[in-house]
Amino acid sequence: MSRTWNFAAGPAAMPDEVLRQAQAELLEWRDARASVMEISHRGQAFMALAAEIEADLRALAGIPPHYKVLFLQGGATLQFPLLAMNLARPGQRADYVLSGHWGDKAAREAAPYVEVHIAADARASGYAALPPRADWQLDPQAAYVHYTPNETIHGLEFHQVPQVGDVPLVADFSSSILSAPVDINRFGMIYAGAQKNIGPSGLTLVIVREDLLARATRPMAAIFRYAEHAAQDSMLNTPNTFGWYLAGLTFQWIARHGGLVAMAARNGRKADTLYAAIDGSGGFYRNPVAPGARSRMNVPFFLVDPALDGRFLAEAEEIGLLALKGHRALGGMRASLYNAMPQEGVDALVDFMCDFQRRHG
């Protein structure tokens, strides 16, 4: 047994260096004489760590001072209603641009709290292309415009931040955060579950423009209010301290390996390698997404004969290419290529795909 190439969509592979450091200091962190899991989040040591981590993230992602950074729980799914409760006043309308499963879910979960308007929907294309910007029906009075920059299941990605005028743009960046530089100033709010590019599951990152925090005027529990979390430095309640710590190790890992520009280059090369293998297979493998909308992070692909799926997965697993089974909604295969997946892993996958095709094509 040994660690191999893990293409899981999330919870996903984490950098070896991060896991090895966490392992080494799991029982005794710095001079705490205890695990980082066992110390008070409000103690000096953890507060200092939290401040370091936020500073590292701000430097890495270029987060301007007028944005708050929150380390919360509940995944992106909990943010679906919370962002509507916080960014819209009751009765206000919000525009949702759907490019796959997650955007659709975000809209449905927000519906009890805001008048959801579907401004555009990739469904018409069978999720093979992004809805052209010219067709979006945006309302300049909307509370916000929500979209999903990368759709994990359908494998569609926006490679440019859309222009939406003065309405705050809100983005579920769960599956592409920190995979490439992004101009934070273009957004009202960015949020992301950690379990793909940041760390383990159970931690959620929210980056929100400070002036938007005042919008949450409806009566609600303090724990639902971003302004309260911001005022208390994400310590309104006991945070996921171990997840937060691992996120910090991951931010350092990204910085050590060249930051977001280097990640973008690596991620681009990895995706190019895999799409080239798929497109060059003469139809044995197929990815249905229009080239300009293809995700760099999640590559769904289908074998020409679905009867071979089981054998493909079994042989792949045998040689240590793990978690390639596609999402149950689509079937087929999916390879997720987050930051922690090296080029070497993608090369191993492509070699196997060529070999499999030679034997079964």
Of positions 59, 222, 265, 290, contacts its own copies by CB under 8 A: 222
Say whether residue 33 binds its own copies (CB under 8 A).
yes
Say whether residue 203 binds its own copies (CB under 8 A).
yes
Please choose, from the candidates 246, 202, 263, 228, the residue with its C-alpha nearest in 3D space to the C-alpha of residue 75. Answer: 202
What x/- string results for residues 65 through 104 when contact with its own copies is judged by CB under 8 A?
--------xxxxxx-xx-----------------------
Q: Tell the smallest beta-carbon distance from residue 310 to its own copies (Å).
A: 14
Residue identified by tokens 């937060």 is 244
Residue identified by tokens 């892993």 is 345
Q: Which phi and psi (to 5°) does residue 184 adopt?
A: -60, -30
**What residues between 106 and 165 interact with its own copies by CB under 8 A?**
108-110, 112-113
* Integer Cα distance of 301 and 330 in angstroms: 10
Identify which range of 3-11, 54-62, 118-126, 251-259 contacts its own copies by CB under 8 A: 3-11
Say whether residue 12 binds its own copies (CB under 8 A).
yes
| Residue from 95, 104, 121, 172 carrying the catalytic annotation | 172
Q: Which phi and psi (to 5°) does residue 247 adopt?
A: -60, -40
* Integer Cα distance of 175 and 177 in angstroms: 6
Whether 244 sits among the annotated catalytic residues: the reply is no
Say whether residue 247 binds its own copies (CB under 8 A).
no
Q: Which contiguous run of DSSP H or E holds residue 206? A: strand 204-209
Nearer to its own copies, 195 or 267 (CB): 195
Crossing angle of the two packed helices 259-279 and 44-61, in degrees rounded to 10: 60
Identify which range of 27-35, 155-163, 255-263, 285-293 contacts its own copies by CB under 8 A: 27-35
Whether 196 sits among the annotated catalytic residues: the reply is yes
Per DSSP, helices labelled H in the chain are 16-24, 44-61, 75-87, 101-110, 226-231, 241-256, 259-279, 309-318, 343-360
CA distances in angstroms from 21 to 26, 97, 178, 236, 291, listed in the order given: 8, 40, 21, 29, 39
Say whether residue 37 binds its own copies (CB under 8 A).
yes
Q: Tell the smallest beta-carbon distance from residue 161 to its own copies (Å).
A: 25
Q: Tell the smallest beta-carbon distance from residue 361 to its own copies (Å).
A: 28
* Integer Cα distance of 150 and 157 in angstroms: 4
Say whether residue 176 binds its own copies (CB under 8 A).
no
Nearer to its own copies, 214 or 221 (CB): 221
CA distances in angstroms from 51 to 35, 55, 58, 248, listed in the order given: 19, 6, 11, 10
Identify which range of 26-34, 177-185, 248-256, 293-301 contacts its own copies by CB under 8 A: 26-34
Say whether residue 234 binds its own copies (CB under 8 A).
no
Whether 102 sits among the annotated catalytic residues: the reply is yes
Do residues 336 and 10 touch, judged by C-beta distance below 8 A?
Answer: yes
Question: Can you give the binding site for its own copies, defined by CB under 8 A?
Answer: 1-4, 6, 8-14, 16, 19-20, 22-23, 26-28, 31, 33-35, 37-41, 43, 73-78, 80-81, 108-110, 112-113, 193, 195, 200-203, 219-224, 236-243, 320, 322-323
Where in the sequence numbering do the catalytic residues fall?
Answer: 102, 172, 196
